Structure 1
């Protein structure tokens, strides 16, 4: 009788754990990493004009996908909703199941996240996840990128190469040496990542004026030179454009 009760308790705990995991990870195979509230560095004064000013902000808690959304994960969304497929879904390299999905507009990415009860990250959430609390230049610290930490391109911008083992995108689970302190992968390199924010100067009304024109991509990609591979570089991009072979995304959830 005691053994039966023990097994019953184990079963209940297992079911409860699976339910909790399902709640915290709505995207199969891509867990959400919890980022606690606290002070963090946003922006930098040594970079380009649009990266300034450097500020220390108090961030709210949130959770972010461990990796970029993959082709396999995006295809499940397409099958469930009837949403249009990614532009490169059938590409022999870019369309591989374990590679980050590319060829998606800002609206496509936003629809995917919304389907799972999530949203695209803000620029502040991206930087907190990528830089930690101390404002590092890269997810792994302040040492420059190399072939073991990030999937990047040739030294002259902007073409791919295979020095890191991948001529184009790499599997989303690659480059574990480049992980952030919290355990997120490829926040720099592999593919540019959509954020939900409109592009504009950090401290200007121009941000509102440009909201309909551009959204911000972060992180650099497989064909980026190393000048584009910092945690603060901001790329303004047409949200309607869905033909980019180097642009993807991941999602976040706010934590009560």
Structure 2
């Protein structure tokens, strides 16, 4: 009996001999019970990088492509699941918008053709065109951060309009991050149309798809029982967010001009 007891004791001690490299907690399984990190932490090499890229992007149950699929087929339901705590299968919202924003900003900045600048071509003032070009050069050079700066205004507008939904302001930051991320994806997919045609109508059609997507998300998220009411609220939210962005942009422009002309 003594031998058996000692054997069991040694086996337990051996199982608990591993130490989590993240929080130094003794672990006995594949994951740390304290912080959740995997115990399989091999040295970082080329194989590790390839595996992480495949895992982050192409993982069937949790990669960015899976999140995009969910946000295309069932956006409102998918976002609701994330907000309710089912998050392991979702790509994180701010990483989502940073990745897509960086891709779109790089494409536009590299090719020097900006869809949003198409309206500036209608201007006859050469100085105004040059100024617009400088503004868009800077904006697309920092596109993902510009979009992140806009999201609080979108979140504030939707929080005001949909306050009775029970979601707080930070949760609306998450909602709008996923929406804006998908709208950027729409811009990426439709960019070749504008690049080869330079048509304002192509830009307007793209914006229409972006706005329709936002309506769809809010209808799934808030208004399955009363979609017409949700469409009206979403429209008000869009107008409010536009006003907030215009006011904030005007203040930033005023400060910029004031500083550079002192």
Structure having the higher helix fraction is: 2
Higher relative contact order (CA 8 A, sep 6+): 1
Structure whose CA Rg is larger: 2
TM-score range, shorter chain: under 0.3
The normalised TM-score by structure 1 is 0.27
Q: Counting strand residues as a fraction of each chain, which structure ranks higher?
A: 1
Q: TM-score, normalised by structure 2?
A: 0.26
